[in-house]
Structure 1
Amino acid sequence: MSRHPRPPSSWLNALRQPVPWIALVLLLITVFSTAPRLWFWFALLLIVLLVGWVQALKGDLPRPHDD
């Protein structure tokens, strides 16, 4: 019987990833920025959130069994 790793079951496991922390820092920079720098930081924040979202979706895909 082979053992497969279980997916993270706690929302705290998400905080171990770098994406939420990078997004938080970028959000803070965006809040205190003015145009035109505001748009740069906002675009960077959206990119980081998009990458994190894609990584989260890839983590939910079923893994093939090693038989």
Structure 2
Amino acid sequence: IARGSWSQADKAIVQMQQNVAQMLERLKEWDPDQDGLSNYAELMLYGTSWSDSDSDGDGYFDGSEV
């Protein structure tokens, strides 16, 4: 493998790492159930459902209960 090929591969890997980091940051803020809590908060902090806006079924959005 030519020396330039490694340099190009290194640049591609760095770019992919940056892209993945940006995607993960966006996913942390994503709120598909629109309850006011991000997926990250629901999964990592509160233990509520990221896909159900009222995890405990009491008629209140999860975001208003935490």
TM-score range (shorter-chain normalised) is 0.3 to 0.5
1 or 2 for the larger relative contact order (CA 8 Å, sep ≥6)? 1
Calculate the TM-score normalised by the size of structure 1.
Answer: 0.42
User: Per residue, is there more helix in 1 or in 2?
Assistant: 1
Q: Give the TM-score normalised by structure 2.
A: 0.43
